[in-house]
Structure formats: C-alpha cells, structure tokens
C-alpha cells in the first residue's frame, strides 16, 4: 500500500523524552520543573523535535520519582502547579509542537487516598479497587499463588492489619489497580479524558502489558528462563501468562483507543497512545489491534540491544518492517529513563552515534530521542548503595563486579545513572541549576566537555548532526511517511553487509540512505540509489550538507548519507 501523504501527525512526528526532574531547574531547588521546561522550549524548537514526552509530574511521594502517583489531578509542588502546566501546554502549542504525558494506569502509590481507603479494612467501599486475596494455609501467611513481580520475587505483599495480600506488578509501594472493577476503569478513563481535554496530545502508557490479571488466580506455569529480556518478558522461572499480555488487556487497548479517538474528534485534533509493552515484534503488534484499532504505537525495545553492525541493523529493520507493515507504524527507541545511555553501545564514540542518529531519523517509524542523547550524554556510574532509585535498593545485594554484566544486557540496577541532569553549558552545575545549589543528582563529571552550548557552536557536533537530520525529516514527506525499500532489491545495488542501504518512497519523491557501519571507506554510487542522474546528496553525518558531484562516492568510516531525488521516474 502506498504510504499516505496525509498520514496523521503522530505517524510523522519525532518525539523527545524529557525527564522533568533532570531537565532544567527554574526556581533553584535543585530539581527540574515545568517552568524549567518552558524556558528550554526555544532550544527544543531550534533542535527541531516535534513532540515532547514528559515523564510523570503528578502529586507523588516520589518513591519512584512520579511513577507512584498519589493524586492524578494535582501536580507535585516541586514541578509547579496547574497554572504552570497550562502555560506549558500553551507555550508548546504556540511553537507548533505537541505534548505527550506519561499515564500510569497499572498502579498508584500506596499513599494514594484510594489505596489508603482500600487498605483500611476488608469492608472498605474501595477494597475491590486493588487486588486483594487471602493467603494460602496455614494462617494465610503464604502468598495466594506463585505470581512474580516484573522485578523477580513474589508480586504479593502481606498486609498485617487486614490479614490479606495485595498484588504489585512492580515495587511493593505501587499496588496494582483492579481493572475488573468497572468503577476503577471508569475513574482512570476520567483521568485520561481530563488531561486530553486540557490539551495533551498523546499518552505514553506505563507497563501497559500488566493491566489485567487472570480472574482465575491460577499459578503461572514453570519456565527455564532465568531472567526477562526486551523481546521475551517471561523469566524468574515462570511464564507470566496470567499476569501479562492478558487478552483482556488487548481488548482494553481497543477500548482506550475509542476513548482517545472520541476526544480527538471533539476538538478536531487526533491524539495518540504509545504503549510500554515488552515482547517480540509480533506480540507487540497485537496491542495495535488487528484492524489498527488498538494503541497507535508501541515501543520496540529490541532497538536498545542491536549491535553496531550492518547485518544486525538490517535484520532488525527487516523484522520490524515485517511485523509493522502499513498502516502500522514502528518506533525506534535508543534509550529512556530506565536504560543505560545508548552512547555506551557505540564505545562512547560520537561519530558512531551520528550514524545511529542518521538511521533513527531516516528509517520508517516514529523516533524517540531521550534527553541528552543529542549531545552524547553518558551514564553517570554510581554504586548501588548511593542510588536514590528504588531499584538500586532492591538490588543492593548484587556484588559490584557483576553490575557491568547487567549493564551490558541493557539492565540498569541503579537508574540514577541515566537520569543525570541535562548538560546545558560548561559552567558549574552545567546550567541545570544555579552554581550554588546542590542538584538532586550529581552532575556528570564530563559536563564541561559535553554540553549543549559547546555543541551548538560546532558545526561538526553530534547536536548539529541531529538538528540537520531533524530539519531534513521535517522538509521531506518521504522521510516522514514514505514506504521503505531495500536498494539491493529494487535497484540491484550491490553493497557489502557493512552498508545498510534503503530508500524511502512517497509518490514521486525518493530519498536514499546509505549507512556505513564499517570503520573503513566503501565506494557507493549514490545516484543509483536515488534512481536519477540529477540526484542530490543532501546530507552526510560526517561532512554536513556538502554535495558530491562525482558518479561514485567514498563513504567514509561510519558515514551515512541521505540522497534526494524528486524527479518522476521513467
Ligand atoms: O527499569 C527497568 C529495569 O530496571 C525496566 O525493565 C522497567 O521495569 C520497565 O521498563 C517498566 O518501567 C516503567 O514502570 C516502572 C517505572 O519505575 C519505570 O520508570 C517505567 O518506565 C513502574 O512504574
């Protein structure tokens, strides 16, 4: 099917994730806030990203830094108030950008008034808002069944006062809501409607795959898998068939879609949903609905682990293209607030990072860029016992010599490491917070070298490379919604495995992309890729926008080029 020139905005957009606590501090308390984000909107518009996703900033004890909501209608005071939120929406929209929120549907904080009431007694009117069960005999002191949390260990927590267990898919202070209770579903859909009507353009759905648990409460079956991975969430020696990817969760994806579409119709602005779900590409696709009537997008985390190798990258794109053909749209994610920063997968090489950025911003799908990726921000290594992240405390028993092995597998046991404050300039505290203030997490020691101000002035920087690519993508509809064709199939262009070569096609517009993953030069015939003798090389991640005129082009080590041709083809 020909890709649509009028594809909805959310399929064509580029997303930039902001972790509000770490982005910019406007009031000098060491914690980033909404006014801080507003102050950086001109930077984001300059950079050229189109949609901003903010991690949670609702009222919360901050035990999981906002992923433990205690009031869905109030903003945590350290981030600002409702007026600041409304100003943010206004200012974002005034720049032609869009705003996406995190929506934590699965659980609340254990200090949410709903849970306090639910926990108060077995007779409480809200008892059934969470998942409570009697334990097994003797004395009910054994958990009701073998269901594990996503972090390993039993997901059940004992409540001494009422003598029952409640279920928590993540940490114990994040009790799961009971979606089998219609009142819960209605209350959470009201939250969704409220914020969308406030002008939010889309929602990122936290651990959406865990929403419904099986009503039978039967044990999960045994499995030999020790630990979950991005493309297979089963592990801790069981298949989580009764706790994740439940058919009722898939049905709920469609119900939620209808709610969100209805709000889009009310205001003539379509909104979108992107789900945090785990599994192989085919499993994830099911969340989008067979008739594309479920979640608009899902994160594809396999991109987090792919090796820096042409063959591996091609295999990844082929898998994704196979599972998400039009009208579905894949996503390309290299990092987020839970994962090791992606620069370490390319040996902290800014040149290799430019090549991956070229891939991410030219391949078919919605790119998600985590704040600081555009300047090559690095993990800020810290021992587990220093972590503010609750995961760090949970894994404190892991010996320090084992931690790098987890990291290499894409697992951060102390997620503070990827949440260091944004590096704006070379000054003390890197412009994140005033020099005399102690930031909530220590600044990265390399902030003086690696920061926005330095890279803004340097035309060869990673930041300027992102900016060029984003500008090109905004200018060329083929890069936003064109179909993807492999050059060796359509043009019989023969290239070594190290070169990933495809083109994006929309109507008469052809944009060819050549990405050299090798650390040596490879000759290509760029015009062949674009199909026209008048093709122009628009951009190289190494040489900026210089256009080669020769028939062949020496594609340098880790160089990517984008070649454009708008001539109708014979
Ligand atoms: O953090 C992880 C591993 O250490 C991830 O596997 C994480 O469990 C998974 O991505 C779910 O994360 C989401 O829900 C959590 C929250 O802490 C994360 O920040 C959020 O992205 C609970 O709400």
Contacts for 481 with CB less than 8 Å, ≥ 6 apart: 3, 4, 5, 7, 11, 12, 364, 506
> Which letter does DSSP use for residue 538 in this model?
E
User: Mean of the per-residue pLDDT values for the chain?
Assistant: 93
Q: Indicate if 390 and 337 belong to the same structural domain.
A: no
Which residue's C-alpha comes closest to atom 12 of ligand 1?
207
Q: Which two tokens stand for residue 421?
A: 């404050």
Structure token digits, residue 190: 């009201």
Range with lowest mean pLDDT among 168-177, 283-292, 539-548: 539-548
The CATH number of whichever domain residue 554 belongs to comes to 2.60.40.1180
Q: What is the DSSP letter of 421?
A: P
Does residue 551 lie in a domain region? yes
54 lines ligand 1 (CB under 6 A): no
As a whole number of angstroms, the longest Cα–Cα distance in the chain is 82
pLDDT 10s digits, 312-321: 999 999 999 9
Cis amide leading into 52 (omega within 30)? no
**Would residue 472 count as lying in a domain?**
no
The CA 325 to ligand 1 mean position distance, Å, reads 28
Q: Which residues span the domain enclosing 395?
A: 381-414
Q: Are 276 and 299 in contact (CB under 8 A)?
A: yes
Name the least confident of 147-151, 520-524, 566-570.
566-570
Question: Which helix H or strand E contains 473, and what residues bound it?
Answer: helix 462-475
Q: Is 105 in the pocket of ligand 1 (CB under 6 A)?
A: no
We report the CATH number of the domain holding residue 158 as 3.90.400.10
Quote the tokens at residue 530: 């674009």
Measure 176 CA to ligand 1 centroid, in angstroms: 14
How many angstroms separate the CA atoms of 442 and 416, rounded? 10
C-alpha to C-alpha distance for 41 and 24, rounded to whole angstroms:
11
What's the CA gap between 236 and 396, in Å, rounded? 18
Residues 348-406 have pLDDT tens digits of 999 999 999 999 999 999 999 999 999 999 999 999 999 999 999 999 999 999 999 98
User: Rounded CA gap, 426 and 534, in Å?
Assistant: 44
Per the structure, the count of domains in the chain is 4
Q: Within 324-451, where are the H helices? A: 350-362, 390-394, 403-408
Residue 239 in any domain: the answer is yes
State the distance from the centre of ligand 1 to the C-alpha of 336, rounded, in angstroms: 10
Say if 36 falls within a structural domain: yes
Q: Would you say the CB of residue 205 lies under 6 angstroms from ligand 1?
A: no
- Taking 80 as the threshold, does the pLDDT of residue 492 lie above it? no
User: Is residue 88 domain-shared with residue 129, that is, in the same domain?
Assistant: no
pLDDT tens by residue, 527-542: 776 666 566 767 888 8
Lowest mean pLDDT among 28-42, 279-293, 458-472, 489-503: 489-503
| Ligand 1 proximity of 63 Cβ (cutoff 6 Å) | no
The count of C-alpha atoms lying within 13 angstroms of the C-alpha of 364, restricted to the half-sphere facing its C-beta, is 32
Residues 159 and 211 in one domain: no
**Residues 214 and 244 grouped into a single domain:** yes
Confidence of residue 5 (pLDDT cuts 50, 70, 90): low
Question: Do 157 and 292 share a domain, yes or no?
Answer: no
**Does the CB atom of residue 207 touch ligand 1 within 6 A?**
yes
- To test the pocket of ligand 1, the residue of 106, 112, 207 to mutate (highest count of ligand atoms within 8 Å of its CB) is 207
Residues 228 and 138 in one domain: no
State pLDDT tens for residues 110-124: 999 999 999 999 999
Question: 177 in a domain, yes or no?
Answer: no
Separation of alpha carbons 451 and 557, rounded Å: 25
pLDDT of residue 1: 41
Is residue 220 domain-shared with residue 231, that is, in the same domain? yes
Alpha-carbon gap, residue 67 to 107, rounded angstroms: 9
pLDDT surpasses 70 at 327:
yes
Q: Do 559 and 500 contact (CB within 8 A), yes or no? A: no
Distance CA 384, CA 505 (A): 48
Q: How far apart are CA 80 and CA 562, in angstroms?
A: 42
Percent of the chain clearing pLDDT 70 (strictly above): 95
Residue 137: CB atoms within 10 A of its CB come to: 8
DSSP collapsed to 3 states, 301-335:
HHHHCCCCCHHHHHHHHHHHHHHCCCCCCCEEECC
Mean pLDDT of 449-468: 96
Query: Domain check: are 12 and 62 in the same one?
Result: yes
CA distance 570 to 567: 9
Two tokens, residue 293: 């009537």
Report yes or no: 213 and 246 within 8 Å, Cβ to Cβ: yes
552 part of a folded domain: yes
Whether residue 371 contacts residue 19, with contact meaning beta carbons closer than 8 Å, is answered with yes
Domain co-membership, 236 together with 205: yes
Residues acting as catalytic residues:
206, 276
Q: Are residues 189 and 140 in the same domain?
A: no
Residue that has been written with the tokens 């990844």 in this structure: 316
- 52-71 burial, b if ≥16 CB within 10 A, otherwise e? bbbbbbbbbbbbbbbbbbbb
Tokens 């040596």 belong to residue: 520
Do both 271 and 314 map to the same domain? yes
Q: What is the pLDDT of residue 531?
A: 62
Residue 469 lies inside a defined structural domain of this protein = no
CA distance 177 to 208: 12
Higher pLDDT, 568 or 214: 214
Q: Which helix (H) or strand (E) holds 91?
A: helix 82-94
Q: Is the pLDDT of residue 2 over 50?
A: no
Contact 454, 446 (CB under 8 A): no
List the structure tokens of 418: 């990827």
The verdict on residue 474 lying in a domain is no
pLDDT in tens, 222-281: 999 998 888 888 999 999 999 999 999 999 999 999 999 999 888 888 999 999 999 998
Q: What pLDDT is recorded for position 532?
A: 61
For residue 511, CA distances in Å to 208, 495, 531, 552 come to 35, 18, 10, 17
Q: Check pocket membership of 168 for ligand 1, CB cut-off 6 A.
A: no
Residue 148 Cα to ligand 1 midpoint, Å, equals 15
**Is residue 136 located within the same domain as residue 159?**
yes
Cα–Cα distance for residue pair 414/427, rounded to 1 Å: 26
Alpha-carbon distance of 179 to 183, in angstroms, equals 8
Q: Could you write out the DSSP letters of every residue in 232-259?
A: B--BTTB--TTTSS-HHHHHHHHHHHHH
C-alpha 441, offset from chain centre? 21
Phi, psi for residue 435 in degrees, rounded to 5: -55, -30
**In this structure, are strands 51-54 and 98-103 parallel, antiparallel, or unpaired?**
parallel
């Amino acid at each position: 099917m020909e890709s649509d020139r009028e594809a909805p905005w959310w399929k064509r957009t580029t997303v930039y994730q902001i972790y509000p606590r770490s982005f910019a501090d406007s009031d000098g308390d060491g914690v980033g806030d909404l006014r801080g984000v507003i102050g950086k909107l001109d930077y984001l518009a300059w950079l050229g990203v189109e949609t901003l996703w903010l991690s949670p900033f609702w009222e919360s004890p901050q035990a999981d830094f906002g992923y433990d909501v205690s009031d869905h209608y109030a903003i945590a005071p350290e981030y600002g108030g409702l007026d600041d939120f409304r100003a943010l929406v206004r200012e974002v929209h005034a720049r032609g950008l869009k705003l996406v929120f995190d929506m934590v549907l699965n659980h609340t904080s254990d200090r949410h008034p709903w849970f306090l009431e639910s926990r108060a007694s077995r007779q409480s009117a809200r008892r059934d808002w969470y998942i409570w069960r009697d334990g097994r005999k003797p004395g009910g002191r054994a958990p009701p069944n073998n269901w594990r949390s996503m972090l390993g260990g039993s997901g059940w927590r004992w409540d001494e006062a009422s003598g029952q267990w409640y279920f928590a898919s993540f940490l114990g202070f994040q009790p799961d809501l009971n979606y089998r209770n219609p009142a819960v579903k209605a209350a959470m859909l009201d939250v969704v409607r409220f914020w969308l009507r406030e002008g939010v353009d889309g929602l990122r759905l936290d651990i959406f795959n865990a929403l419904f648990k099986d009503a039978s409460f039967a044990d999960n079956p045994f499995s030999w898998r020790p630990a979950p991975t991005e493309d297979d969430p089963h592990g801790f020696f069981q298949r989580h068939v009764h706790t994740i990817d439940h058919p009722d969760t898939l049905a709920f994806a469609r119900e939620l879609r209808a709610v969100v579409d209805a709000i889009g119709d009310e205001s003539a602005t379509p909104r979108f949903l992107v789900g945090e779900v785990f599994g192989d590409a085919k499993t994830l696709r099911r969340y989008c609905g067979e008739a594309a009537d479920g979640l608009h997008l899902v994160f594809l985390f396999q991109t987090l682990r792919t090796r820096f190798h042409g063959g591996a990258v091609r295999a990844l794109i082929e898998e994704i293209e196979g599972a998400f053909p039009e009208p579905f749209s894949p996503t390309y994610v290299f990092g987020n607030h839970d994962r090791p920063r992606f620069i370490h997968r390319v040996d902290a090489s800014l040149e290799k990072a430019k090549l991956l950025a070229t891939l991410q911003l030219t391949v078919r799908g919605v790119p998600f860029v985590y704040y600081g990726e555009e300047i090559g921000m690095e993990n800020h290594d810290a021992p587990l016992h220093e972590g503010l992240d609750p995961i760090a405390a949970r894994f404190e028993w892991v010996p320090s010599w084992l931690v790098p092995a987890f990291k290499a597998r894409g697992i951060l046991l102390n997620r503070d490491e990827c949440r260091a404050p944004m590096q704006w300039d070379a000054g003390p505290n890197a412009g994140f917070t005033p020099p005399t203030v102690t930031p909530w997490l220590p600044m990265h020691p390399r902030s003086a070298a690696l920061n926005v101000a330095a890279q803004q002035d340097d035309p060869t920087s990673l930041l300027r490379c992102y900016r060029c690519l984003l500008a090109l993508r905004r200018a060329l509809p083929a890069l936003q919604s064109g179909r993807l064709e492999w050059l060796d199939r359509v043009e019989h262009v023969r290239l070594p495995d190290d070169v990933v070569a495809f083109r994006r096609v929309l109507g008469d517009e052809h944009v060819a992309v050549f990405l050299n993953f090798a650390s040596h030069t490879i000759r290509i015939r760029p015009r062949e890729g674009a199909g026209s003798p008048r093709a122009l090389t628009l951009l190289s991640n190494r040489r900026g926008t210089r256009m080669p005129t020769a028939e062949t082009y020496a594609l340098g080590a880790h160089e990517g080029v984008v070649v454009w041709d708008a001539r109708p083809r014979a």
